Chain A
């Protein structure tokens, strides 16, 4: 303990705040991540089945969704954060703290995840879809029993990448008062030149990313035959 106090003087004096920052980051990941997962998966599936040659081909739906996703992907997140503040107030009642950034986080990461899902599902062999249809599967059955079931490994990888990129977004969200590790590192590490806080934050983030990456890779490999 004594050594830690010497080595990381600034951090040790702000431990409760540090733990809260970790908790806030985790909270943003879980809430935003959960919502992004659901919407991104749905949009990714819609893109896959409505695209030309898809099992529920629909040019208008595909074009519309495709354009919307491109639109949101082309807006830098830091701008999205401020642009969506009114919407955030409307939905969550506030535009600050963890609650206030869930909306921009969802808008920022969902298009990214939807594209990841689309490309994961695109790896499904067309022949499998054809075989399933020939056996009397309905398009919905094909979605759940072929596309999703046969893409568990690439989907796991897509989720891993999205969780990690979402972590990057949560750090930026700190800039509008969301709290979290990014905010913590900037406020103390950068603004007050407390270098030990920057280092510890970096180490925690690296460990977190590595853990997610390892888990994702493990699950993906387990589901590859």
Chain B
């Protein structure tokens, strides 16, 4: 279990009178075996926060406990030892360019005979499915291969925690998916706790069950990934969700005054957002029939997040005003959030 309490970390900018509050009073608990996401725009303080876990950055104040041990109070030697149990991978992979894949993975192995090291390295390379590159140098590998080697190296000493600092941000979408799948497999096979730092919503949606949203050094929202993304409470989170959702295109259409969103008198343009997990009924066609109105779908975007459906549609209601109102009420009763974007008036 990782327990962060009231972590504060400030940096002095070049001009000494300005202080940057990189992490500003953050408390966080991450359970064993979780895949926990920390998401935020760049500069939000995520990378600093994750470095406070293995004390690559020492917090100015606060408490960092791992499995009940207060990291801030460890002597240097104890800290080095503790760090061998916290693996870390990076956006730029950080493989040693003058060492082969084998030598890179062997780097953190200590107090072992040559044979033991060889056996362990091969085992790790097999685990991340890159055994054939044992004697290659990092410069001969693709980004995805480099990250696999970095993962093998991070796992060398059987860590209980793996910190991933924007680990997929330098990779193309397909490679990202394969690395995320690997992380998921490792989490299942080894029971390792994974902390994922990212600015990509896709990553969190894909592998995390729990997440925290960070902005300006603070955690502004935390909880189940499904809850965060289906019903974001904080404006920054909403912004995040919107940037990845198709539904945000409606704003562009309105701004460009597209003919698609030109309303006739009596019409209402609205966004329907599914907030709760079971959207199994044919809501559009049912309402259309039951209330005798036309519902024209402009945009739709439904996704699977943490195993549940999230998303919604942007529609134009056309019909008698009273019937439209009843339809909207029906949706609200079904726990669907209805935001009226434009109303052409009755």
Contacts and interface: CB of A to CB of B under 8 A. Distances in A.
Contact of B80 (A131, A136, A145, A225): A136
Nearest to A131: B94
Interface residues of B, number: 31
Given A127-B90, A149-B98, A135 B56 contact: no
Nearest to B82: A136
Interface residues of A, number: 21
A223 B98 contact: yes
Contacts, number: 66
B107 A132 contact: yes
Given A127-B90, A136-B80, A136-B157, A225 B97 contact: yes
Given A127-B92, A225-B137, A225-B139, A135 B108 contact: yes
B90 A135 contact: no
B88 interface: yes
Contacts of A211: none
Contacts of A133: 56, 83
A152 B94 contact: no
B139 A136 contact: no
Nearest to A138: B80
A134 B97 CA distance: 17
A138 B139 contact: no
Contact of B54 (A134, A138, A146, A224): A134
Interface of B: 54, 56, 76-77, 80-84, 86-88, 90, 92, 94-99, 107-108, 137-139, 150, 153-154, 156-157, 163
Interface of A: 125, 127-128, 130-138, 145-146, 149-150, 152-153, 223-225
Given A127-B92, A137-B108, A225-B139, 20 more contacts: A125-B92, A131-B88, A132-B107, A134-B87, A134-B163, A135-B84, A135-B87, A135-B156, A135-B157, A136-B108, A138-B80, A145-B107, A149-B98, A150-B96, A150-B98, A152-B98, A153-B98, A225-B97, A225-B137, A225-B138
